Chains A and B, each alone.
Chain A
Amino acid sequence: MTLHPTTPDFKDNAHRALHDPELQKALGHVQHGFIYKRQSAVERLPEFKTLRESARDLKDHVLKNLDLYLETYERNVAAAGGQVHFARTSAEACETIVNICKSHGAKSVTKGKSMVSEEIGLNAAIEAAGMQAVETDLGEYIIQLRGETPSHIIAPAVHLTKEQVEGDFRRVHTHLDGARDLSEPVQLLTEARGVLRERFLAADVGITGANFLIAETGTSIIVTNEGNGDLTQSLPKVHIVIASIEKVVPTLEDVSLLLRVLARSATGQDMSVYTTLSTGPRRETDPDGPEHYHVVLVDNGRSAMLGTEFEDMLRCIRCGACMNHCPVYHAIGGHAYGWVYPGPMGAVLTPSLIGVEKGGHLPNASTFCGRCESVCPVKIPLPKLMRHWREREFERHLTPAVQRFGLKIWAFFAKNPGLYSFASRAAMSALAWLGRDKGRFASLPLAKGWTDYRDLPAPQGDTFQAQWRKRQKEARR
C-alpha cells in the first residue's frame, strides 16, 4: 500500500527538476520566504538558544523512556474514553483505519494534513476500500487534485505556481462559472474554502495527524494555520488520530516548550494560529465534537532506530527548517527525493524507513554545509547522520564501481602524504598554467557536472598545505 518510492532514481529525478522551469520559479519562494521569516522570529526571542537545548534534552529523555511514556499515554487515552491501536507496518496501520471507517459505515472521510498518513499510503487504502478521502489543507487539497505527493513537509504545494493551481481548479470545479476570475491567490483560497466547506459538513470520519501526544493526559495535539484540522476533527462523528510512536511527550509543560521552537522554526510564526489539544471523544453534555476517538500509533521501523547512531533522528518535530535552509532542496525541490520526506531530514530518515538499498542515494546529495544542523530546533546532527549512511552504503558495496574506484585512488594518495602533496602541487601548477589567460575554465574533462553550471576558477598561488606550512612558519617567527 505504501507509496512506491522513486528514490532509487534520485539522480535522474534531480536532473529533471533542475531543468523544470516552472518548478525552478516556484522554488524561489522557499529560499527567500522561509529563511527570512525564521530569522526574524528567532531574533525576537532572546531565549531561543536555551529553548533549543532544552527541547533536545527533553526529546532525548523521552526516547530513552519511550516504552514507559507510551504505556502512560495509552492508559490515559483509555481513561478519557478513547482507544489506542498499535500498528507495526504501513499495511497494519491502513487496515486498522479502514476497519474503523467501515465499522461506522463511512462513505466520506476528511483529512487534516499528516505526513505519516502519506508515509503509510492511507488515501489509496481508503479509496481501495470504496470510500472517498478528501484532503482539506489547502496545499494538500491542491496536490490531491493533481495526483501528486507533497513536495515539502509543511508546505506541500510549494513546488507549484498560482497559474498551475488555477488550471487545476478550473479542471475540477466544473460546477462553477467558467468565466470567473482566478488570477489572484485570494480568489483561489476563497474558492477552495467554499468547496471544502461542504466536504467538512458531509464527512462521516475525520482523520488528523498529531504534532505531539501528551502522556500525562492522553491528549493529541495538532498545530495548524487554516483551521481545516479542527473542522476535520470536530464535525464528523468519528475522529481518528494517526501518529508515529516517537511523538509522545510527558506533560503539558513539555508541549509548551516544544511549541515555542516549532512554529518559529517552521514558518517564522511565534505560534501557529490553531494549537488544539484533544482528549477523548465529546463529553455527555457537549453539543458538538466526535462521539468516537481513536488513535493509531505507527512504528514502521522507528523502534529499530532506537539505540543506533540514527536515534537522534527520532527527535525530529517535523518543522521543515532543514529543507528550507538546504541548498540541495532549493535546487531540486522535494519530489526529486522520491518518497515522503525530502531535504536533509528525508535524506536521513528515508534510508531508515525504506532501506539503504533504495534510499542510499539521498545522503550523497549533500555538501555538508551544515546549515540544516544549525537551524534544527532539536539539534539533530544531520550531516553526521548522512555521513553514517554513506559509510553503511560503502560497507555494503552499494556504491557504484566508478565511485568506489575514485575513492580508492583518493585513499591511496591520502595515505601517502608525500605523494599527495607532490601530485596536488603538480595538478595545480598545470591548471594555473592552462587557465592563465582567462583565470577560469568554462569546461574541463571529467568535470562536466561542475562546469555545465558554473566556471571553475583557475588556481592561484600555492596549494592549501603549502600555504598552511608557510603561515605556521611565519607565526613561529
Chain B
Amino acid sequence: MSAREDIFANIRRSLGVTGNETTRRGAVAQRLEQTPRGPIPSRGQGSPAARLATFIGEATRVSATVVVLDTAQAVPEEIVRFLREANLPLTLKHGEDARLSALDWQAAGLEVATGRSDGADLNAVTHAFGGVAETGSLVLLSGADNPVTLTFLPDNHFVVLAAADLTSDLESVLVKLRRTGALPRTINIVTGPSRSADIEQTLLLGAHGPRRLHIMVTLN
C-alpha cells in the first residue's frame, strides 16, 4: 500500500469509519458550503468612523505609524515627509498597481522604480486589499500589482489603505476575497513591523522584515 492509502486506512480504522458514511460526508460538505463563522469580537464593529479609530489605535499599539489622508494624491508628499524626518534617501519602489502608478511621485521629489525587490531597496510602497479594525492588520495580496518581496525585503514599508476597504474583522475581508475568485499565491496579513523576542524575551523591532511600517489611510 502507498503511504497515502495506508494513512487514510489508519485514520478510518481508528475512527471506526469507512469514509462512505452519508451523514459524515453531508456534515463536511455543509460546513464547506455554508462556511459558518465563530464568535466575532465586538471590538472591531461599529460605524466606519468608529472602525477607523479602532484600526488606528490597534495598529499604533503594535508599533505601526498611521496617518489619515484626504485623498490618495497626498500619498507621495506624505512619504517624502516621513523619509525626510527619518533622514532617509528619497527612493521608493512599487509594483504595477494602477492606484499607485497614477500618483505623481516625481513631482514630490521621489526617485521611483517599479517591480519586485531583490533586497537592495530601502523603501517600498504597496496598496492593501483591505484592513482589519479589530487587530490593526493589513491584508496584502501578492502578484504583479504588489509583489510580495516589497512587503518583506525593504527596511521601510509604506502601505496605502483606502478607508472604504477597512473592515471590522478578518472574516469580512476574507469573504470579500473568496468572492473575487481564486486566491493569489499569498495573502499577507501584516500586523505591525517585523519583530523578535528570541533573545532573553526582549522585544525588538526589525527582525528579518521591515523595521518600520507606515500606514496611510486614504478617505477619498
Q: Which residues of A are interface residues toward B (Cβ below 8 A)?
A: 26, 29-30, 33-34, 45-47, 50-51, 54-55, 58, 61, 64-72, 80, 85-88, 92, 136-139, 142, 155-158, 160-162, 165, 185-186, 188-190, 193, 196-197, 200-201, 215-217, 219, 225-228, 230-231, 234-235, 245, 250-254, 256-257, 259-260, 267, 269-283, 285-289, 297, 299, 303-308
Contacts and interface: CB of A to CB of B under 8 A. Distances in A.
A172 to B, nearest CB: 16
Nearest to B118: A201
18 contacts: A51-B38, A64-B15, A69-B28, A139-B198, A189-B199, A219-B183, A227-B152, A230-B186, A250-B32, A252-B171, A259-B170, A273-B193, A275-B191, A279-B185, A287-B116, A289-B142, A299-B10, A303-B11
Given A226-B196, A288-B149, A251 B32 contact: yes
Interface stretch (B72-80, B97-105, B204-212): B204-212
Interface in B141-189: 142-144, 147-149, 151-153, 169-171, 174-175, 177-178, 182-189
Given A86-B2, A252-B178, A303-B14, A65 B184 contact: no
Contacts of A158: 198, 201
A273 B208 contact: no
B6 interface: yes
Given A67-B15, A226-B208, A303-B11, A267 B197 contact: yes
Contacts of B25: 68
A136 B144 CA distance: 26
B207 A138 contact: yes
Interface string B1-39: 011101110111011110100001101100110011111
Nearest to A163: B200
Contacts of B192: 273
Nearest to A285: B144
B215 to A, nearest CB: 14
A306 B11 contact: yes
Nearest to B119: A201
Q: How large is the interface on B (under 10, 10 to 19, 20 to 34, 35 or more residues)?
A: 35 or more
A178 to B, nearest CB: 21
Contact of A193 (B10, B62, B169, B207): B207
Contact of A68 (B10, B24, B184): B24
A256 B170 contact: yes
A86 B119 contact: no
A251 B35 contact: yes
B137 interface: yes
B200 A29 contact: yes
A305 B7 CA distance: 12
Nearest to B140: A276
B194 interface: yes
A288 B209 contact: no
B123 interface: no
B144 A287 contact: yes
B87 interface: no
B199 A234 contact: no
A307 B13 CA distance: 9
B135 interface: yes
Contact of B147 (A160, A200, A271, A287): A287
B137 A230 contact: no
B17 to A, nearest CB: 7
B152 A58 contact: no
B190 interface: yes
Given A87-B3, A234-B152, A274 B199 contact: no
Contacts of A139: 196, 198
Nearest to A53: B39
A276 B187 contact: yes
Contacts of A215: 32
Given A70-B8, A86-B4, A272-B191, A138 B198 contact: yes
A58 B38 contact: yes
Nearest to A67: B11
Nearest to A256: B170
A306 B196 contact: no
B49 to A, nearest CB: 21
Contact of A306 (B3, B14, B195): B14
A253 B38 contact: yes
B46 interface: no
Contacts of B169: 256
A253 B36 contact: yes
Given A64-B15, A277-B183, A285 B143 contact: yes
Interface in B38-71: 38-43, 58, 62
Max count, chain B CB within 10 A of own CB: residue among A61, A138, A230, A260: A230
Contacts of B14: 303-308
A235 B195 CA distance: 20
A162 B144 CA distance: 41
B202 interface: yes
